Amino acid sequence: MDPERYDPQQVEPKWTAAWEERALYRADENDTERARFYALDMFPYPSGDLHMGHLEAFAGGDVIARLKRMQGYNVLHPIGWDAFGLPAENAAISRGIHPKTWTRQNIDTQRATFQRLGISFDWSRTFNTCDPDYYRWTQWIFLRLYERGLAYRKASPVNWCPHDQTVLANEQVINGHCERCGHLVEKRELTQWFFRITEYAQALLDDMAELEDRWSDKVLTMQRNWIGRSVGAYVDFIISETGQTVRIFTTRPDTLYGATFFVLAPEHQLAEQLVAGTEHEAAFRRFRDTVDRETEVERLSTERDKTGVFLGAYAINPVNGERIPVWAADYVLLEYGTGAIMAVPAHDQRDFEFARNYGLPVRIVVQPEGEPPLDPGQMTEAMGHEGVMVNSGPYDGIPAGEAIRRVTADLAAQGRGEFAINYRLRDWLVSRQRYWGCPIPIIHCPSCGEVPVPDDALPVPLPDDVADFRPKGESPLATVSDWVNVACPRCGTPARRETDTMDTFVDSSWYFLRYTGLDPERPFDPDRVARWMPVHQYTGGIEHAILHLLYSRFFVKFLHDLGLVGFREPFRALLNQGMVVMHGAAMSKSRGNLVEPATIIDEHGADVARLTMLFAGPFEDDVDWADVSPEGMARWIHRVWRAVRGAADSGAGHGGASDPALVRHAHRATQAVSDDLERFRFNTAVAKLMTLSNDLADAVRSGRGSATEQRDTAERLVLMLAPLAPFVTEELWHALGHTESVHLAAWPGYDPELVRVERLTCVVQVDGKVRDRIEVTADAGEDDLRALALASPKVKAALADRPIARVITVPPKLVNLVTAR
């Protein structure tokens, strides 16, 4: 090989094969000495080849895994595929290829690209969620949920995508549209399977305390808002005409005396009952038809007029016996609280707008203190909640906050209400009327009803032979008669299998547990899980901030309650990469701005692909590929190559006199790069390595530094670059005379004496007069000095608030603040 030229296309495949052969990245199950580190990357969905988002996420995740390995940890860094899902089925429909074939092909393609990229996965424990060996256990977990009443079936209005012909979870509806195909989502009444995640709403909130500072505030806030806890009360009203009790949920029981009307969600069963056979029936029907065509977002929009109809009935207010009219209105949702509200237009903006639209009365019950009495006729919007009670019988004069407690307690004492906590979180709708998913292990028997498939009959296999993958509102599985028709496991009479499959988010809610060992007898081995988990570092996209992360947290809490895992939170720390865009826009085939990792590897090699991505900016920020230069990175790799080779040769006597500056630089860089990588600042780590490599190249060229010093600097450079660019560093490590892999070498330490930053005294003057002497580091710049000078109490006193006209700095010795005169 030409020692002057580094050829990645020749070097990279060689090392890929060597690492594979040595099983270099296999986690060691038997090692009891080293501490364990579980570095997990969100597993990919196999559609096509890996894209740039994958390159970014996995390059970052790999740096973490490799760094930890070099730091002496026994690292588990697994990979698999989230292999069920709609696109496979759509490919089957449009191209006539079986979803299984399509999926396997994509997995093979992605696996090959992972290997070319040199991601240090432990390939011995890989799996796909569509493997029967995996989904058997997804079904097993389903049955455990079912046994505890946490998986159940009910008829409910669901989000229905008319294009994909399937139901969608609330989380999969984005602004009223299907997350996958963008079509407008409709509401349909269907019998569906749900997981009772709401049972864990409070636990999901409480346990977030463990995640503070280890997950980004952004993700934690998104989860908190999604769970949406509200504290208030249930209050029972009585329908005057029928005597029925109707419960409402309010966060403001203090405003009960201000309720001037009562509103039911249009879908509320009582609304239907109240109008049945009355003069109000026709108008109500028309109203419901329009509401059914509106999305939830439209209904809740503050921009739109709120609409409704009077139902011809009255509700009796439990605090004062007042009869108030009952309406149905679009802004009240069936799924939140109890689907019924008391309307307090004076203090609730939505009620206020509705009252103005329909000429309903507005009554003030909370009066801001020290202000002229509010006049309902003059109000242009509802009034907030600070103030004292008025028009509220025995509660008059009490501060509103206290009235909330008093009213709630009094209602509870009379059996007309109770303290209540409500969550916005809904139960998780898990059934899908699609083929390519995990079959739900339930059999419907005409005499026994729902019968769970016995554990020893798992997995319920997904049949291969399906005549038609096209969705018809029912799962394509319903057409596979020899699969559907089975004997009831309980009574033996002919019965039918459940034909719905599970949401793919079920598959990905526990995969991280299975990586600890592919146990043939169980979903996972609890002892192994105890040794490896919780995951030390999880890396993946912010798009999973709610769904996947919430569902996984829920599953782990459930498994904890079953006694199968000893922790309640699966992911100790979370790192979210930004998006990769091109000229500010998302990359896509249709835009013609798609760059693929495989192309960059073809052109420049894997190291360059990885480094270019990691150097592009802070990991958590978006990366614009238009701004980066793989060519520039390729040139740098060549320079590193030449510098390190030069230093390797200087062992033969090319070194010069000792150079303490070179040594100091090498040690300081070691400290700084270690620190950067520990905090995922991959881009600044690369920048520091670039500076170090320049210094080394210069030293080699000019004979600066002894042969040993040059060599030590070169070794540090190679070791620190190894997690980022595994191939060229492996080649160079061997060129430096090592016979073992650089990836098994120890992360370099540094001499604390050498990294200590020298401190100097800097004189601070105000208008030329010395006012203070401050201690600064030798490398302090003008901005640092100015900030330090301005922070000095003595300087502040001397300035006495006079404005500063000019600042003269002579780093690191002098700052002179010149005031305006």
Radius of gyration of the CA atoms of the chain, in A: 33
398 vs 818, beta carbon nearer ligand ANZ:
398
Binder of residue 491, out of Zn ion, ligand ANZ, none (CB less than 5 to 8 A by kind): Zn ion
Provide, rounded to whole angstroms, the least separation between the CB of residue 557 and ligand ANZ.
24
11 vs 342, beta carbon nearer ligand ANZ:
342
79 vs 382, beta carbon nearer ligand ANZ:
382
Q: Residues, the chain, total? A: 821
Site string for ligand ANZ, 375-414 (x = CB under 6 A): ----------------------------------------
DSSP three-state, residue 455: helix
DSSP three-state, residue 603: helix
Q: Which stretch binds ligand ANZ (CB under 6 A): 248-256, 490-498, 562-570, 725-733?
A: 248-256
Provide, rounded to whole angstroms, the least separation between the CB of residue 160 and ligand ANZ.
21
Among the listed residues 333, 573, 707, 799, the single contact to ligand ANZ using CB under 6 A: 333
CA 83 to chain centre: 19
Provide, rounded to whole angstroms, the least separation between the CB of residue 235 and ligand ANZ.
9
Dihedral class, residue 440 (left if φ above 0, else alpha if ψ from -120 to 50, else beta)? beta
Give how many residues touch ligand ANZ by CB under 6 A: 19
Among the listed residues 71, 109, 230, 684, the single contact to ligand ANZ using CB under 6 A: 230
Binder of residue 204, out of ligand ANZ, Zn ion, none (CB less than 5 to 8 A by kind): none
Q: Which two tokens stand for residue 214?
A: 């280890």
Binder of residue 105, out of ligand ANZ, Zn ion, none (CB less than 5 to 8 A by kind): none
Binding site for Zn ion (CB under 5 A): 445, 447-448, 488, 490-491
Position 136, amino acid: R
User: β-pairing, 537-541 with 36-41?
Assistant: parallel
Distance of CA 222 to CAs 225, 354, 357, 550, Å?
5, 30, 34, 10
Looking up tokens 């042969």, which residue turns up? 707
Provide, rounded to whole angstroms, the least separation between the CB of residue 447 and Zn ion.
5
Q: What is the spatial distance between Cα 417 and Cα 409, in angstroms, rounded to a whole number?
A: 9
Interface positions, 410-439, toward ligand ANZ (CB under 6 A):
422
Cβ contact 251:235 at 8 Å: no
Partnered with residue 513 across adjacent β-strands are none
Binder of residue 736, out of ligand ANZ, Zn ion, none (CB less than 5 to 8 A by kind): none
DSSP three-state, residue 12: helix
182 vs 449, beta carbon nearer Zn ion:
449
Provide, rounded to whole angstroms, the least separation between the CB of residue 487 and Zn ion.
8
* Residue 260 touching ligand ANZ (CB under 6 A): no
* Residue 443 touching ligand ANZ (CB under 6 A): no
Q: What is the spatial distance between Cα 388 and Cα 386, in angstroms, rounded to a whole number?
A: 7
Binder of residue 244, out of ligand ANZ, Zn ion, none (CB less than 5 to 8 A by kind): none
CA angle 350, 352, 356 (to 5 degrees): 120
Q: Who's near 241: CB < 8 A, 6+ residues apart? A: 274, 313, 314
Binder of residue 490, out of ligand ANZ, Zn ion, none (CB less than 5 to 8 A by kind): Zn ion
DSSP three-state, residue 310: strand
* Residue 344 touching ligand ANZ (CB under 6 A): yes
Provide, rounded to whole angstroms, the least separation between the CB of residue 263 and ligand ANZ.
8
345 vs 646, beta carbon nearer ligand ANZ:
345
Binder of residue 445, out of Zn ion, ligand ANZ, none (CB less than 5 to 8 A by kind): Zn ion
249 vs 532, beta carbon nearer ligand ANZ:
249
CA 628 to chain centre: 26
* Residue 249 touching ligand ANZ (CB under 6 A): yes
Cβ contact 729:683 at 8 Å: no
425 vs 616, beta carbon nearer ligand ANZ:
425
Q: What is the spatial distance between Cα 594 and Cα 588, in angstroms, rounded to a whole number?
A: 5
Binder of residue 274, out of Zn ion, ligand ANZ, none (CB less than 5 to 8 A by kind): none
Provide, rounded to whole angstroms, the least separation between the CB of residue 384 and ligand ANZ.
9
Among the listed residues 336, 483, 733, 750, the single contact to ligand ANZ using CB under 6 A: 336
* Residue 251 touching ligand ANZ (CB under 6 A): yes
DSSP type of residue 122: -
Provide, rounded to whole angstroms, the least separation between the CB of residue 444 and Zn ion.
9
Distance of CA 654 to CAs 647, 706, 708, Å?
8, 8, 10
Distance of CA 161 to CAs 177, 330, 476, 595, Å?
8, 21, 16, 31
Interface positions, 766-805, toward ligand ANZ (CB under 6 A):
none
Position 537, amino acid: Q
* Residue 255 touching ligand ANZ (CB under 6 A): yes
* Residue 295 touching ligand ANZ (CB under 6 A): no
* Residue 266 touching ligand ANZ (CB under 6 A): no
Provide, rounded to whole angstroms, the least separation between the CB of residue 303 and ligand ANZ.
16
DSSP three-state, residue 309: strand
In this structure, how many other beta carbons lie within 10 angstroms of the beta carbon of residue 244? Answer: 14
For helices 660-678 and 682-702, the axis angle rounded to 10 degrees is 160
CA 634 to chain centre: 33
Looking up tokens 């305006």, which residue turns up? 820
**HSE-CB for 697 with a 13 A CA cutoff:** 14
204 vs 506, beta carbon nearer ligand ANZ:
204
Provide, rounded to whole angstroms, the least separation between the CB of residue 141 and Zn ion.
24
Binder of residue 448, out of ligand ANZ, Zn ion, none (CB less than 5 to 8 A by kind): Zn ion
Residue 664 burial by Cβ neighbours in a 10 Å radius (0-12, 13-18, 19+): middle
* Residue 571 touching ligand ANZ (CB under 6 A): no
Binder of residue 488, out of Zn ion, ligand ANZ, none (CB less than 5 to 8 A by kind): Zn ion
Q: Which residues bind ligand ANZ (CB under 6 A)?
A: 230, 249-252, 255, 265, 331-333, 336-337, 339, 341-342, 344, 347-348, 422
